[in-house]
Structure 1
Amino acid sequence: MSSQTEHTTAPAATGQGSHHYVLTLDIPGRLSGCWLGTVTPSPTATRHDVLSDLLGQIRADKPEFARANIAFFSLESNRL
C-alpha cells in the first residue's frame, strides 16, 4: 500500500513548501506506506517537530498506521 500527500503549513512563493519530505511507515508483514510532499515549517520548528506533525496527520487519516515503525524519514531543503 502506498500513498502520497502534500502538507503545507505556510504559503511558499513558488507554490511549494520550503522543504521536501519522504516518510515510510511499516508494520512488518502486514502493511507499509510512503508519503512525500512539501512543507514550510515555522522558523523555530525542528526536524522532530515536522516528523511529529506528519505522523499525527497520517495517523489521523489512516489509524491503521498508529503503531507502525518509521522505516525511513528524510527532510531536506526543497531547493537545488
Structure 2
Amino acid sequence: MTSQTSTTASSAASAAPQGTHMWVLTLEVPGRGMTTSHGTVTPPADATRHDTFRTLLDYVVSQNPRMSSANCVFFSFEPNQL
C-alpha cells in the first residue's frame, strides 16, 4: 500500500512545483492493515501544525476509507528544503 517513485535530477527539474512542506503519514488498523502516504503541501498562512495534520489525515482516509478508524503510528511534517 506504500508507493515510491524515484526521480532523476534531470526529471526533477521539469517536475511540477512542490509545496513548502513535505509530509509522511502512516496509519494502522491493528490486525487489519496499514498504509503510508506522502506528499508536499503549502498550508494557509494561519494554519497550525494540528490543522495541517487533520487536513492530511482526512485526505488519507478519503483515499483509503478502510482507515477511518485507524491509529496514527507515524507523522512527519517538515519544511521542503535541504
Gaps of 5+ in 1: 5-13
Following TM superposition, by how much is the alpha carbon of 1:3 offset from its aligned partner in structure 2, in angstroms? Answer: 4.7
Question: What residue is the counterpart of 2:2 in the other structure?
Answer: 2
Check if 1:19 corresponds to 2:7. no
Question: What residue is the counterpart of 1:10 in the other structure?
Answer: none
Q: TM-score, normalised by structure 1?
A: 0.81
The answer as to whether partners of 1:23 and 1:72 remain within 8 angstroms in 2 is yes
Check if 1:67 corresponds to 2:72. no
Based on CA coordinates, which of the two structures has the bigger radius of gyration? 2
Distance, in Å, in 2 between the alignment partners of 1:3 and 1:58 is 13
Counterpart code for 1:2: T
Distance, in Å, in 2 between the alignment partners of 1:57 and 1:23 is 11
Identity of aligned residues (%): 48
Following TM superposition, by how much is the alpha carbon of 1:59 offset from its aligned partner in structure 2, in angstroms? Answer: 1.7
Aligned alpha-carbon RMSD (Å): 1.5
Structure showing the higher helix proportion among its residues: 2
Q: TM-score, normalised by structure 2?
A: 0.79
Question: What residue is the counterpart of 2:41 in the other structure?
Answer: 39
- How many residues in Structure 1 have an aligned counterpart in Structure 2? 71
The answer as to whether partners of 1:3 and 1:33 remain within 8 angstroms in 2 is no
Distance, in Å, in 2 between the alignment partners of 1:49 and 1:15 is 23
Gaps of 5+ in 2: 5-15
Distance, in Å, in 1 between the alignment partners of 2:73 and 2:29 is 9
Please identify runs of 4+ aligned residues in structure 1 that moved more than 3 A. none
